[in-house]
Amino acid sequence: MPEKIGFVGVGTMGRPMAHNLLKAGFAVAVCPHTNLSPVRELESAGATVVADPKAVAAASQVVITCLPNAPQVEEALFGSDGLMAGAVPGTILVDSSTISPAAVRSFAARVADASCTLLDAPVSGGEGGAIAGTLTFMVGGDRAALEGVRPVLEAMGQRIYHIGESGMGAVVKLCNNMMAAINLVGACEAFTMGAKAGVDPALMAEVVMTSSGGSNAVAGSLTKKVLPGHYEPGFMLKLMCKDLHLALDACQELGVPAFAGSTAGQVMDLVRNLGKGDLDFTVIATLYEEAAGVKIGGKK
Amino acid sequence: MPEKIGFVGVGTMGRPMAHNLLKAGFAVAVCPHTNLSPVRELESAGATVVADPKAVAAASQVVITCLPNAPQVEEALFGSDGLMAGAVPGTILVDSSTISPAAVRSFAARVADASCTLLDAPVSGGEGGAIAGTLTFMVGGDRAALEGVRPVLEAMGQRIYHIGESGMGAVVKLCNNMMAAINLVGACEAFTMGAKAGVDPALMAEVVMTSSGGSNAVAGSLTKKVLPGHYEPGFMLKLMCKDLHLALDACQELGVPAFAGSTAGQVMDLVRNLGKGDLDFTVIATLYEEAAGVKIGGKK
Amino acid sequence: MPEKIGFVGVGTMGRPMAHNLLKAGFAVAVCPHTNLSPVRELESAGATVVADPKAVAAASQVVITCLPNAPQVEEALFGSDGLMAGAVPGTILVDSSTISPAAVRSFAARVADASCTLLDAPVSGGEGGAIAGTLTFMVGGDRAALEGVRPVLEAMGQRIYHIGESGMGAVVKLCNNMMAAINLVGACEAFTMGAKAGVDPALMAEVVMTSSGGSNAVAGSLTKKVLPGHYEPGFMLKLMCKDLHLALDACQELGVPAFAGSTAGQVMDLVRNLGKGDLDFTVIATLYEEAAGVKIGGKK
Amino acid sequence: MPEKIGFVGVGTMGRPMAHNLLKAGFAVAVCPHTNLSPVRELESAGATVVADPKAVAAASQVVITCLPNAPQVEEALFGSDGLMAGAVPGTILVDSSTISPAAVRSFAARVADASCTLLDAPVSGGEGGAIAGTLTFMVGGDRAALEGVRPVLEAMGQRIYHIGESGMGAVVKLCNNMMAAINLVGACEAFTMGAKAGVDPALMAEVVMTSSGGSNAVAGSLTKKVLPGHYEPGFMLKLMCKDLHLALDACQELGVPAFAGSTAGQVMDLVRNLGKGDLDFTVIATLYEEAAGVKIGGKK
């Protein structure tokens, strides 16, 4: 079982994930990034701080990356001070970023050329799940490599799924987020209609959860964000827009119709373009509230 | 507590609902309709068969109606042999059909003119829930009238919600079905993308149910209908199209944007128009399968 | 040839149309409506003012109606002081309002019961065409009746088309307006993209008019309203929304897919709901300008 | 004035364009491509055939490229036997392909590094316009360079517009094609509705062309392709899908809403995915015809 774990990308999600690795007894190596404070905080909690990703890899058997987009993952892996410059053959790299399946496959091939293994392992569960250690991991790539790092992932998550070959973890993550976006857009429409007709939104949420219209978007996003009317992220709208466009690009490449996906993308993009991209993605509810002249939430 | 219950509309949903009333010990009166066999069957089970809705009302303290659309409800209530021709003042009418909130309010006012009470009480749970007696009732109208008939509804359902004034039960039902339709369209898009990329749909369903993209459309419709590839109804596509258009009309009247709702409506209408209106509404999955050249389900 | 013409509905369109009848030498009878000033103005120009539609019909061989919606047409035709109360058998009624084909057919049947004839004859050309007498009439109903009133219509319009039986004039009008709406929404998207990329919108309009993307929406609506940035009506957004929904209802009844039509409807409704329903329908351009942070027009 | 012109990409559009250069008295150099027959044909008409793009550039003052997509343009320009390997400083390259503005700008910068000039000059007018020499050129890049090659372009087209800096020709072409696609989708919906209601489509086309709903999509695509029901290309659906996605990507990058554009993209993609990508893009009409159970065209 691997004992020395590296972590690159200790942001909203990565910071609590790295803390959980420390709590589980792993040795954790991190390096300074744009924001120094989580690195210092992890150092206080027992992590070793080294100079750069290259040094992180040199100090680790397994390295987790958790970054906002494909160019940053590419730089972390293949930059001059990147992980692959320091990794010994046999190192397993676990990328928990949400990037395109095509990017995953391309990176995995380059990592394999250096006799290392890249797993795509995006997560679901949000900041709350990252703190509680209850994330779901959707893993693509070599099954044996996954079994080797399973105890590491179990320190951070509750459910570890092997989906299939390289890139398939990314596929399922994009599918999931596309549904989350569509279901939220639908919920905003339905709950605005209900509210305008005089129905109490909290009661309606309770009723639909026991009916065919229920969804995690209602039980989670709508109930926890829209009803109280608090839109601090959470999951920023601009990141949801990015994920949706990765999903729509994949639909386009695969020849899959995406009527609802592209509609949800247009609604999300519109609200982002109107200046709300840094708020939680549930802020799209305000477009509906403004158009209909009614509040779903935030009344108290 | 009322003991004599009438029932008009003993079709897919109404037949098992009436059976559950008999099982619970109520006296049930029914009348012949388009299809005689459920009437005979209920007679064998203990129901009294009378000539027409007028006679049903004359024999009952409470009457349940469960019909496909507003014109049929209007005929059953106000036709020359209709319920209101036989109802004594104080009779409570419970309409479990899915019709527009505007139709409900109009019918309720006419019923009130005759010193009776109409509750709109559409249900969720499908044929399965009707048989098992586990339906959810979403009730609009006078709260005291609902309390009076609650034991009757509890013989057929597990959850009885008072939503608000007349028509609000119908509002929540339409909101619920609009979300069910949108969520299913989104699920078809995501699962087709996943299947085309090589992901096992059953595994993907399991993963997303623990993630932000999960919904009752995935846990129910997709898993129970699309994965096995069996599209006998269930809930016919043409009825879902009808409900969606009632919901979209309500959005239009109330000034509520319905980008996702109208997109789902277009997809559902397209498949209905292509000749599949009498199959279960989940048959829209086949449009995606055909376009993408891949099967989500039905392989075994 | 008929010489005595009645006119009911002397608003934005009807007033100049009635003036053109007077200029062409017809005797014209009008009656007071919500707004008295156009009636007085027409009286000064030679029209006879009578008490109500009933009196208008009594004074006329042919009556033109030009009203905002079906309930107003119904009241003008069949109200207690309505046209049919005063019309002698053989009177020809020409309705230039934009209402649903189903409403047309229903009204035409009731008019025929009184041995009169109703033609649906909606117009295209806007206020400018009404003033210049260059309208296009799209006529449904009895061809011989149309030939009888053709000289009357030619006093107001340049092109008089007999489309087919009762209601088909309304069908073509709704088809035309649905395309006008879709083409304008498309033009707003394309011109906003061009403007954001730095292209001069007036130059782009010139180029596309000689290319496959050109349309009357670009040559007319966009060039005349959006480029100068003046949104006084013209054709009010709320009326375009009404026409679009009549068109979408007709698509729904006829089983015709309306992906683009319903998308245009959602965009138009959204801007109307945001408080701009009384401006010209081209004001939807401002939604695109605001979202993209760029002006297509109105700069100088 | 340049006298020696090279041409790379003598397909559906390029072949007649090169013929027109020969007819106008220019010396034209071409090289073998995937299909030899147009090269032989042009040789018979007076063109010089050389080995590869490098040799074409070596023999020319100005080179026109007309290729299906960006990777082919990149190969033709920068491949080992590409144009830039043979071009002397001062050569002007005119790319009439439809590629993304970003690709144009990137290629133009690399061409400028070699002291040559790249103009983006996509065309509108189709194969008919290419044969007749009546194309519209939308040109981005250095204005002086355009003036230098204007006589060359005038041998192939009727209208030569300088839109702005590098990439802006491509922008206007994508805007134009996005509108052409949206307007055609709208026309298919409206004409299917009309046909289903019994209206003669040819008559409706005549009427709407004088009304607000008219467009080049109705006057051209619909009248010339859909009414006769002949879908041999012309402009292949799969190419229109490609152009639409370039346009939608540009909207996404620029932050421009594209509700109608993405809807049109979904309809076009659906029909392409159903196996009709090699037919003319107007074949999307058949989806509407099939769904509505009516023919717009092709009856006789």
Residues of C with Cβ-Cβ distance to D168 under 8 angstroms? 197-199
pLDDT-above-70 percentage for chain C? 99
Under a CB-based contact definition with an 8 Å cutoff, are residues B149 and B92 in contact? yes
What would the two tokens of residue A7 be?
A: 């972590």
- A260, B267: Cβ pair inside 8 Å? yes
Q: Do the bridges between strand B48-49 and strand B92-95 make them parallel or antiparallel, or are there none, so unpaired?
A: unpaired
Residue C234 falls in which region: left (phi positive, over 0), alpha (psi -120 to 50) or beta: left
- D257, A265: Cβ pair inside 8 Å? no
pLDDT-above-70 percentage for chain D? 99
Q: What angle do CA D7, C210, D253 make, to 5 degrees?
A: 75
On average, the pLDDT of chain A sits at: 96
Q: Is A300 a residue whose pLDDT tops 50?
A: no
Whole-angstrom CA distances from A40 to A4, A12, A36, A46 are 19, 15, 6, 10
- D136, C257: Cβ pair inside 8 Å? no
A254-279 pLDDT, tens per residue? 999 999 999 999 999 999 999 999 99
Q: Is D122 a residue whose pLDDT tops 80?
A: yes
Residues of D with Cβ-Cβ distance to C101 under 8 angstroms? 197
Residues of D with Cβ-Cβ distance to C189 under 8 angstroms? 178, 182, 251, 256-261
Q: What number is the average pLDDT over the span B127-134?
A: 94
Q: Do the bridges between strand C157-164 and strand C48-49 make them parallel or antiparallel, or are there none, so unpaired?
A: unpaired
Q: What number is the average pLDDT over the span B75-82?
A: 98
Q: How far away is chain C from the Cα of D61, in angstroms, using its nearest Cα? A: 28
pLDDT-above-90 percentage for chain D? 95
Coil, helix or strand for A202?
helix
Chain C's closest residue to D123, CA to CA, is C211
Residue D291 in contact with partner chain B when CB distance is under 8 A: yes
Residues of D with Cβ-Cβ distance to A265 under 8 angstroms? 262
A299 is catalytic: no
Give me the pLDDT at residue D299, please: 55
- D273, A263: Cβ pair inside 8 Å? no
What would the two tokens of residue B62 be?
A: 């409470």
Residues of C with Cβ-Cβ distance to D165 under 8 angstroms? 198
Residue D257 in contact with partner chain B when CB distance is under 8 A: no
pLDDT-derived band at B114, boundaries 50, 70, 90? very high
What would the two tokens of residue C289 be?
A: 């300008």
B9 contacts: CB under 8 Å, gap ≥ 6: B33, B64, B65, B66, B67, B72, B76, B97
pLDDT-derived band at C300, boundaries 50, 70, 90? very low
A29-40 pLDDT, tens per residue? 999 877 889 999
B283 contacts: CB under 8 Å, gap ≥ 6: B231, B237, B271, B276
Active-site position among B173, B225, B242, B276: B173
A76-93 pLDDT, tens per residue? 999 999 999 999 999 999
- C257, B265: Cβ pair inside 8 Å? no
Q: Is C195 a residue whose pLDDT tops 90?
A: yes
- C274, A291: Cβ pair inside 8 Å? yes
Residue D252 in contact with partner chain A when CB distance is under 8 A: yes
Give me the pLDDT at residue B35, please: 80
pLDDT-derived band at D300, boundaries 50, 70, 90? very low
Under a CB-based contact definition with an 8 Å cutoff, are residues A289 and A192 in contact? yes
Give all chains having 3 or more CB-to-CB distances under 8 Å with chain A: B, C, D
Chain A's closest residue to B261, CA to CA, is A186
pTM for this prediction: 0.95
pLDDT-derived band at C297, boundaries 50, 70, 90? confident
Residue A261 in contact with partner chain B when CB distance is under 8 A: yes
Under a CB-based contact definition with an 8 Å cutoff, are residues B21 and B5 in contact? yes
- B273, D259: Cβ pair inside 8 Å? no
Q: Is C298 a residue whose pLDDT tops 80?
A: no
- D273, B259: Cβ pair inside 8 Å? no
What would the two tokens of residue A21 be?
A: 């690795």
Task: Provide the 8-state DSSP code for A52.
Answer: S
Q: What number is the average pLDDT over the span A53-76?
A: 97
What part of B 103-132 touches A (C-beta under 8 Å)?
124-126
D51-105 pLDDT, tens per residue? 999 999 999 999 999 999 999 999 999 999 999 999 999 999 999 999 999 999 9
Residues of D with Cβ-Cβ distance to C213 under 8 angstroms? 124, 175-180, 183, 216
Chain A's closest residue to D241, CA to CA, is A252
Residue B273 in contact with partner chain C when CB distance is under 8 A: yes
D149-198 pLDDT, tens per residue? 999 999 999 999 999 999 999 999 999 999 999 999 999 999 999 999 99
Q: What number is the average pLDDT over the span B81-100?
A: 97
Q: What number is the average pLDDT over the span A172-178?
A: 98
B243-298 pLDDT, tens per residue? 999 999 999 999 999 999 999 999 999 999 999 999 999 999 999 999 999 999 86
Q: Is A182 a residue whose pLDDT tops 90?
A: yes
A110-161 pLDDT, tens per residue? 999 999 999 999 999 989 999 999 999 999 999 999 999 999 999 999 999 9
Which among B255, B266, B273 is the nearest to C262, CB-wise? B266
Q: How far away is chain C from the Cα of A229, in angstroms, using its nearest Cα? A: 20
pLDDT-above-90 percentage for chain B? 95
- B194, A172: Cβ pair inside 8 Å? yes
Which among C196, C250, C259 is the nearest to D185, CB-wise? C259
Whole-angstrom CA distances from A187 to A232, B47, B121 are 19, 42, 22
Coil, helix or strand for A7?
strand
Give me the pLDDT at residue C299, please: 56
Active-site position among C23, C54, C173, C299: C173
Beta bridge partners of C164: C140
Chain D's closest residue to B259, CA to CA, is D259
Chain C's closest residue to A292, CA to CA, is C273
Residue A80 in contact with partner chain B when CB distance is under 8 A: no
Residue A239 in contact with partner chain B when CB distance is under 8 A: no
* Site from D179, D246, D287 to mutate, C interface, most C CB atoms within 10 angstroms: D179
Residues of A with Cβ-Cβ distance to C259 under 8 angstroms? 259
Which among A138, A213, A291 is the nearest to B175, CB-wise? A213
Chain C's closest residue to A259, CA to CA, is C259
Give me the pLDDT at residue B299, please: 56
Give me the pLDDT at residue B300, please: 44
Residues of D with Cβ-Cβ distance to A259 under 8 angstroms? 263, 266
Measured distance CA(A132)–CA(C223) in Å, rounded: 58
Which among A101, A124, A208 is the nearest to B197, CB-wise? A101
Measured distance CA(A147)–CA(A161) in Å, rounded: 11
Give me the pLDDT at residue D91, please: 98
